[in-house]
Amino acid sequence: MKDAKELKEALFYTKKSVYEAADGDEIDRAFAFAKGYAAYLDEAKTEREAVKAAVRLAEQNGFRPYTMGQTLAAGDKYYFNNRGKNLYLFTVGTENIENGIRISAAHIDSPRLDLKQCPVYEDGGMAFFKTHYYGGIRKYQWVTVPLALHGVIVKADGSTAEVCIGEDENDPVFYINDLLPHLGHDTDQKPLGEAIPGEKLNVLVGNRPYEGDESDAVKLNVLALLNEKYGVTEADFLTAEISAVPALKARDIGFDRALIGAYGHDDRVCAYPALLSMFEDPAPTHTLMCVLADKEEIGSEGSTGMKCDVFLDLVNEIAVALGGDPAVVRAHSKCLSADVSAAFDPNFADAFEKRNTPLLAGGVVLTKYTGARGKSGTNDANAEYIGWLRGVMDKENVVWQAGELGKVDQGGGGTVAKFMAGHNVETVDLGVPVISMHAPYEVIAKVDLYEAFRAFCAFCRA
């Protein structure tokens, strides 16, 4: 008979944290890598800003703008900026394009409060902006948080004013009122999801009246200030896209500084390492592509979301320019749908199934399926592909864990994976575990971010 302890070691699967599995140098590299990420977070709170920041980094690394129809050769590095909200980067590999493209696809939109098209009003001596929330939020979390306004206003003459107020130390910030506990008796009886209805998420933007006017003087003063700064009128909001996002910078969390708190980890914590993995190898064997998609939080819709045909068009263009058949290229391509997963939270242990939930600092998460209620709406990746990826990550000692989004029938979610897989591209979800996902301030572990970066690099090389 074999020794039970030895047999256990040989047969049992034991999950190791990054701190157990990696050496001190790698932990140091992870903490250093996190600094660049925190800077990216503060620069890129909306998809437009995330594209701008990514383009700047791409250009610094030799990427140039791509125009559909142009010729391509091995070693070429291009980016395609889709309407300023969705970015495709690709590096042409040395091998036959029909061997497929290695694609990492993350999203750069995050839950937030978008201004309505007629947002401005005055009530009780205060001026407010009406909002319609974007993506899945727990509405009670967004009151009494300092907010910044980001976006664009397209004016009657067709020119565009870019808005970013609340990020500079000297800027004012904005705010959503909540009821004081002294008068909270009625709201305290309500379920959490009903205490703050969507129409109560009105952003406080002013209190000082314009001199000499009797009615709507506070609103008038706000519009006068906006007119002075941006040259806009109330009607210009009809053609604006402005979002209220938390006016909070990324900060280290904890005495040991092991975690980062920030707005919008979902999904910049995957977008950033996926993007940086494109800069590692100037002459890759496979053609590499990184997608930074918009609109994931509302179903990947629209001309900047992952459902848009621009992805197919680009793959077609690249295939044809390199003498390949687009269908063959897609059939042999591999994709990492780079998105976050929910980390086990002991404070809400009931929502998770401990054996299959990723742990903070447990490494990058490989998620076979997302979806809800019997895997509805998921890609459910093929075991053969996951097996291949397991080999790729194990070869480079990437610390990874399997994940599932919470307990069966507790809820669920989706990613861009199913849209990629629908194009006949092998796809699986891979990303970073997050605490308090979709909250105004989310938490991730620096070591998980770094293992994600190492996973994308290993995938590009494999």
Q: Which is nearer to Mn ion, 267 or 448 (CB)?
A: 267
DSSP 190: S
Amino acid at 105: A
Q: Which of 49, 236, 266, 429 binds Mn ion (CB under 5 A)?
A: 266
- Taking CB under 5 A as the binding criterion, the range among 39-47, 64-72, 332-340, 341-349 that sits at the site for Mn ion is 332-340
By beta carbon distance, the residue nearest Mn ion is 267
Note the maximum CA span of the chain.
95
Q: Which is nearer to Mn ion, 22 or 248 (CB)?
A: 248
- Taking CB under 5 A as the binding criterion, the range among 239-247, 265-273, 305-313, 453-461 that sits at the site for Mn ion is 265-273
Whether residue 345 is preceded by a cis peptide bond, meaning omega within 30 degrees of 0, is no
- Taking CB under 5 A as the binding criterion, the range among 17-25, 153-161, 267-275, 301-309 that sits at the site for Mn ion is 267-275
Q: How far is the CB of 438 from Mn ion (least distance, A)?
A: 6
Tokens of 219: 């609103």
DSSP 343: P
Q: Which is nearer to Mn ion, 127 or 444 (CB)?
A: 444
Q: How far is the CB of 106 from Mn ion (least distance, A)?
A: 8
Q: Which is nearer to Mn ion, 122 or 339 (CB)?
A: 339
Q: Which is nearer to Mn ion, 223 or 360 (CB)?
A: 360
Examine residue 267 and tell whether it contacts Mn ion (CB under 5 A): yes
Measured CA to CA, the distance from residue 71 to residue 321 in angstroms comes to: 6
Measured at the CA of 74, the angle between CA 71 and CA 76, to 5 degrees, comes to 65
Q: Which is nearer to Mn ion, 26 or 267 (CB)?
A: 267
- Taking CB under 5 A as the binding criterion, the range among 30-38, 260-268, 366-374, 399-407 that sits at the site for Mn ion is 260-268
Q: Which residues pair with 154 in a beta bridge?
A: 160
Q: How far is CA 234 from CA 20, 98, 162, 175, 357, in A?
A: 58, 53, 16, 20, 48
Q: Which is nearer to Mn ion, 26 or 339 (CB)?
A: 339
Give the x-and-dash track for 72-111 against Mn ion (CB under 5 A).
Answer: ----------------------------------------
- Taking CB under 5 A as the binding criterion, the range among 48-56, 147-155, 259-267, 284-292 that sits at the site for Mn ion is 259-267
- Taking CB under 5 A as the binding criterion, the range among 10-18, 171-179, 262-270, 306-314 that sits at the site for Mn ion is 262-270
Q: Could you tell me if residue 119 is left (phi over 0), alpha (psi between -120 and 50 degrees) or otherwise beta?
A: alpha
Token match 């009797």: residue?
A: 214
Amino acid at 8: K
Q: How far is the CB of 339 from Mn ion (least distance, A)?
A: 4
Tokens of 327: 């269908």
Tokens of 202: 């009105």
Q: How far is the CB of 157 from Mn ion (least distance, A)?
A: 37
Amino acid at 33: F
- Taking CB under 5 A as the binding criterion, the range among 14-22, 26-34, 264-272, 284-292 that sits at the site for Mn ion is 264-272
306 in Cβ contact with 291 (< 8 Å): yes
Q: How far is CA 303 from CA 169, 269, 298, 422, in A?
A: 35, 23, 13, 17
> What is the phi/psi pair of residue 129, to 5°?
-110, 130
Q: How far is the CB of 313 from Mn ion (least distance, A)?
A: 24
Give the x-and-dash track for 157-176 against Mn ion (CB under 5 A).
Answer: --------------------
3-class DSSP state for residue 361? Answer: coil
Give the length of the chain: 462
Q: How far is the CB of 425 from Mn ion (least distance, A)?
A: 19
Report the interface residues with Mn ion, using CB under 5 A.
266-267, 339
